[in-house]
Amino acid sequence: MKAVIILSAGHGKRMKSPLPKVLHKVAGKSMLQWVIDAAKTLNPDQIITVISPELKTHETLKSTDIVVQEVPQGTGDALKLATQKLQQNIEKVFLLCADTPLLQAEDLKNLENTTADLTLIGMKIDDLSKSYGRIQLNEKCYPVAIRETKHDPEAKKISIANTGVYAFNAKMLKSLLPKLEIHPDSNEFYATDLLELAVCEGYSSELFLAKEENFLGVNTLVDLSEAEKIMQCRLKANHMLNGVHFSLPETSYVHYDAEIGSGTIIEQSVHIGENVKIANNVTVFGFSYLSNCTIKSGVTIGPFSHLRNNAIIEEHASIGNFVEVKGSTIGKSAKAKHLSYIGDAVIGEKTNIGAGTITCNYNGFEKFKTHIEKNVMIGANTTLVAPVCIGESAYIAAGSVITKDVGANNLGITRTEQQEKSEWATNFRTKYIKI
């Protein structure tokens, strides 16, 4: 049996944020959730998360056993607390850190397949000035100690750094933890000291190397930005390998749960937020913002479109520039090409929404629906005051304010009669212009 312990009790003061560090999001998912999801790929019998008191009721932790570290006394102390909650018959314990959202399942699988009493993942670094702890090897290239650079400046000459990810023989771990000594300069117990203790007591150790970016630790908002860049590259690369064309991928944002079909084109500076489902052969033109929406095949969106709140765009419909669709269904082959707001509406197939159309869906207290049947022509600059229904194949004259239902094949019009006053402009100007 195996267990995963996730260290998540640090306050993250360097983030300078009221939000606990591990709840900051990368591609729309908290760092803690990324690590929990990675841990689950091991199919462990138990996941234990060591947390600070402020996190104890957070919903992210529902799938794990929690241990509260009331007073932060280092990673060694957190590990001591966690092992007290291990289920019986746990034979192998994995240790992960909740501020490493780029962790990869493949690296954990490699860790799982080792047979040493203590196995750790290291990473080859080119920049020796970095503050990572360094892994000291013996003449046979087995790891024997982890040297912290802040205590041992000579350790910076070592190019293999510690990732903070380990696999322990559970019995060994329980026997070594009471032997950890507190560091007088910090009053903390360090989990990194376990390697040297294990080797001194004759336990076997093993090291394997992985990519440095997979273990980027997020301690500041600068680090968070770097993690976001890397995650965005990964997500978009996966989409592109599945047939999605990003014109300038580095300019667009993709939420981790986005579903995008093959043959779809995403132009520059597009935001694809949470719960977005895009079918095959869709084109999303630049500077569009999508969240909580479903876009079906053959649709064109944008540029500068905004879709949200469970908007549904049916096959071959077209949503154009500066059009916002909120909580509405746009029927097959319907069009809203310019400068319109469509909120809480159902638009029938092949209906055309003219430029400047607005559905007035809110009276300050309640929301109301607008229903427009198929083959309707809504003229430019129309205001539809909900609740209202426009019948099949009806016409609405440009510039109308529609407050009542319009029947099928009828014309709805609310204009006043045009008047023209002779020489009015000339007479008006003479009041202000002196010759």
Contact predicate 376/348, CB 8 Å: yes
- Do 232 and 112 belong together in one domain? no
The secondary structure of residue 75, as a DSSP letter, is: H
Residue the block writes with tokens 């879709």:
307
Residue 302 in any domain: the answer is yes
pTM > 0.85: yes
- What CATH number is associated with residue 373? 2.160.10.10
Residue 417 in any domain: the answer is no
The domain of 81 spans 2-215
Torsion of CA 36, 40, 46, 52, to 10 degrees: 0
- Do 194 and 235 belong together in one domain? no
Contact predicate 352/372, CB 8 Å: no
Question: CA-to-CA distance for 297 and 250, rounded, in angstroms?
Answer: 25
Residue 404 in any domain: the answer is yes
- Do 298 and 192 belong together in one domain? no
Residue 238 in any domain: the answer is yes
Residues with catalytic function: 338
Residue where a domain terminates, one of 215, 239, 267? 215
- Do 245 and 115 belong together in one domain? no
Residue where a domain terminates, one of 185, 215, 245? 215
Name the 3-class secondary structure at 348: coil
Going residue by residue through the chain, which has 435 residues, state the pLDDT in tens, using 9 for 90 and above. 999 999 998 778 889 999 999 999 999 999 999 999 999 999 999 999 999 888 878 888 888 999 998 888 889 999 999 999 999 999 999 999 999 999 999 999 989 888 899 999 999 988 888 888 899 999 888 999 998 888 788 888 898 999 999 999 999 999 999 999 988 888 889 999 999 999 999 999 999 999 999 999 999 999 999 999 999 999 999 999 999 999 999 999 999 999 999 999 999 999 999 999 999 999 999 999 999 999 999 999 999 999 999 999 999 999 999 999 999 999 999 999 999 999 999 999 999 999 999 999 999 999 999 999 999 999 999 999 999 999 999 999 999 999 999 999 999 999 888 899 999 998 888 888 876
Residue 368 in any domain: the answer is yes
Expressed in percent and rounded to 5, the helix, strand and coil fractions of the chain are 25, 30, 45
Contact predicate 124/47, CB 8 Å: no
- What CATH number is associated with residue 149? 3.90.550.10
Residue 276 in any domain: the answer is yes
Question: CA-to-CA distance for 361 and 306, rounded, in angstroms?
Answer: 17
- Phi, psi angles (nearest 5°) of residue 283: -120, 125
Residue 426 in any domain: the answer is no
Residue 425 in any domain: the answer is no
Residue where a domain terminates, one of 193, 215, 237? 215
Number of domains observed in the structure of the chain? 2
Question: CA-to-CA distance for 181 and 76, rounded, in angstroms?
Answer: 9
